[in-house]
Amino acid sequence: MSVGLYRSYAALLVGALVPIWTGSHASLVMPAADRKKLRKLRKAERERSATADAQDSDEEEEEEETTERLTREDALWFPIVGSCVLLGLFLLFRFLDKRLLNRILGGALALLAVVGLTRTLTRIVRSSLGPKRYNKSSKVRCRRLERHIAHWTDISLTTYSLGAFAVALGVATAQIYTTHWVLVNVVALSFAFNAISLIALDSFITGSILLAGLFVYDVWWVFGSQHVFGDNVMVEVATSFDGPIKIVFPRNLAAGRDFTLLGLGDIVLPGVFLALALRFDYFLARGRSPAPLRPRANFAKPYFMACFSAYILGLCMTMTMMHYFRAAQPALLYLSPACILAVALTAFARGESEALWRYVEEEEPSSQEAEKEKQASQDQSSPKDSLAAVESTGKSSNRDLPVECQVGEFDSAGDLPEVTPRLRQRANASK
């Protein structure tokens, strides 16, 4: 095996591990209840001493981001939808001009690349400066426009985020026109980081269903599709499209040719499973901690580290088999069993199998949604309070009726609750 091939395999391994590690940690979010407790503790500390305020100055809360939660139904549909998309791309590249398709698809992905790179660069700057210094930077305020587009125009941007947008726009534009492998990798790694940090599996059962389905998907499209379509569909699409759907590294670095590649699916899909394992570690650590535990705190990560190690072994096995057989290998053939077995065996060894398989992440409402629900509950409780006041005074003109009325629904004529139809019929019969 040549030095160049060793180097390319090592580069692909590092390129896969970086977005998995960073994206998994970026997916950690402190629950709203813990954030509320932490704010109370900070307030008490500030009241006791001025130094506490200085110590906590850099521990500002992260901005809320909306995650896409995958359920069991989504996991079942994922390989089917993925197969349809893959086959569609294969047919397009077979019957249409590849250069034109690369321009069209590359332009569409470039728009996503600008958004993804902006978010990635912004998070890097925020982590480097600290939340408080980042939030105190100069801000550009976009005034809210009227009515139906108000939600999209009421935004506040920092100078750092505007700078990140400018850099992202330049990189995405250069990637379209040059298709240089370094720029392709930058955009692809940004996609992988954002996908792992923003896509959340709701349970380990869902994750196991997803990886098991993708195990079959990958094996079929790499090994079985050639017997039906005459070509290896997976390899044909991956090599025909020059866009950021894979990370590549040349065996001949000086000449920039003879590339080895790894698809983004082999990074992102096991990556969201590893992110779930890290969030489970965080859940267990929060249960053991007497005080609210910040996501950036140092806590035990047995499930994440076991799964992370299994991913490394699975990817190394993929590369070994690829070199031995001199042919493309379905990486999920090795990665899916490795990740599932890693968390299952770790739970068995720690006596936490029941907790692992019963663990379910509920979608937590954002602060704005929580405020709306709180206001709605207050609005709904006010008629009941009025009803209680009316009944306590004993001044109702219908005191002779049985007290079997519906609570909380008022008629338009007055303040008294409307009686049930059965009671109305009884009253009419007595007349």
User: Which of 317, 340, 364 is the last residue before a domain boundary?
Assistant: 364
Do 339 and 407 belong to one domain? no
Indicate the burial class of 16 (C-beta count within 10 angstroms; 0-12, 13-18, 19 or more): buried
Task: Calculate what percentage of the chain has a pLDDT beyond 70.
Answer: 72
Do 189 and 231 belong to one domain? yes
Indicate the burial class of 249 (C-beta count within 10 angstroms; 0-12, 13-18, 19 or more): buried
Residue 25, C-beta contacts closer than 8 angstroms, at least 6 positions apart: 278, 295
pLDDT at 413 over 70: no
Quick count: other Cβ atoms within 10 Å of Cβ 382?
10
Nearest-angstrom CA–CA distance, 382 and 285: 40
Residue 415, C-beta contacts closer than 8 angstroms, at least 6 positions apart: 386, 390
Do 342 and 400 belong to one domain? no
At residue 137, the pLDDT reads 62
Mean per-residue pLDDT, 170-174: 91
**Residue with more model confidence, 34 or 349:** 349
At residue 280, the pLDDT reads 96
pLDDT at 411 over 50: no
pLDDT-derived band of residue 426, with 50, 70 and 90 as boundaries?
low
At residue 316, the pLDDT reads 95
pLDDT at 389 over 50: no
- H helix runs in 144-256, sequence order: 150-153, 159-178, 181-198, 204-219, 225-229, 233-240
Do 20 and 49 belong to one domain? yes
Do 179 and 233 belong to one domain? yes
Nearest-angstrom CA–CA distance, 282 and 302: 10
pLDDT-derived band of residue 297, with 50, 70 and 90 as boundaries?
confident
Q: Kindly state whether residue 231 falls inside one of the protein's structural domains.
A: yes
Q: Kindly state whether residue 150 falls inside one of the protein's structural domains.
A: yes
Report in angstroms the alpha-carbon separations of 197 from 65, 94, 117, 202, 373.
Answer: 10, 35, 14, 14, 27
Tokens 């976009």 appear where?
Answer: 142
**Residue with more model confidence, 177 or 272:** 272
- State both tokens at 228: 């039906």
Three-point CA angle 212, 65, 266, nearest 5° = 25
Residue 402, C-beta contacts closer than 8 angstroms, at least 6 positions apart: 423
Do 160 and 137 belong to one domain? yes
User: Which of 347, 364, 381 is the last residue before a domain boundary?
Assistant: 364
User: Which of 316, 334, 364 is the last residue before a domain boundary?
Assistant: 364
Give the model confidence (pLDDT) of 304-351 as tens digits. Answer: 999 999 999 999 999 999 888 888 889 999 999 999 999 999 999 999
Q: Kindly state whether residue 30 falls inside one of the protein's structural domains.
A: yes
Task: Examine the residue annotation and report whether 400 is marked as an active-site residue of this protein.
Answer: no
Provide, for the chain, the percentages of residues in helix, strand and coil under a 3-state DSSP scheme, each rounded to the nearest 5.
Answer: 70, 5, 25
pLDDT at 32 over 90: no
Domain extent at residue 406: 370-430
Do 323 and 406 belong to one domain? no
Do 152 and 214 belong to one domain? yes
Mean per-residue pLDDT, 152-174: 78
Do 256 and 327 belong to one domain? yes
Task: Examine the residue annotation and report whether 218 is marked as an active-site residue of this protein.
Answer: yes
Mean pLDDT of the residues in the chain: 79
pLDDT at 424 over 70: no
pLDDT-derived band of residue 38, with 50, 70 and 90 as boundaries?
confident
Domains of the chain: total: 2
At residue 90, the pLDDT reads 93
Give the model confidence (pLDDT) of 45-95 as tens digits. Answer: 776 665 444 444 444 455 556 778 899 999 999 999 999 999 999 999 988
Do 389 and 254 belong to one domain? no
Q: Kindly state whether residue 343 falls inside one of the protein's structural domains.
A: yes
Helix axes 302-325, 265-288, angle to 10 degrees: 160
Mean per-residue pLDDT, 102-128: 87
Q: Kindly state whether residue 97 falls inside one of the protein's structural domains.
A: yes
Give the model confidence (pLDDT) of 185-236 as tens digits. Answer: 999 999 999 999 999 999 999 999 999 999 999 999 999 888 888 888 998 9
Do 106 and 193 belong to one domain? yes
Assess contact for 292 and 38: CB atoms under 8 A.
yes
Choice among 218, 258, 281, 379 that is catalytic: 218
Q: Kindly state whether residue 10 falls inside one of the protein's structural domains.
A: yes
Identity of the residue numbered 353 = S
Assess contact for 159 and 144: CB atoms under 8 A.
no
Nearest-angstrom CA–CA distance, 62 and 51: 22
Do 358 and 376 belong to one domain? no
Q: Kindly state whether residue 62 falls inside one of the protein's structural domains.
A: no
What's the chain's length in residues? Answer: 431
Choice among 266, 379, 400, 411 that is catalytic: 266
pTM for the whole thing?
Answer: 0.78
Give the model confidence (pLDDT) of 233-263 as tens digits. Answer: 998 998 888 888 899 998 877 666 778 889 9
At residue 253, the pLDDT reads 73
Mean per-residue pLDDT, 151-167: 72
At residue 335, the pLDDT reads 96
Q: Kindly state whether residue 129 falls inside one of the protein's structural domains.
A: yes
Question: Which of 84-88, 168-172, 393-397 is predicted with the least confidence, judged by mean pLDDT?
Answer: 393-397
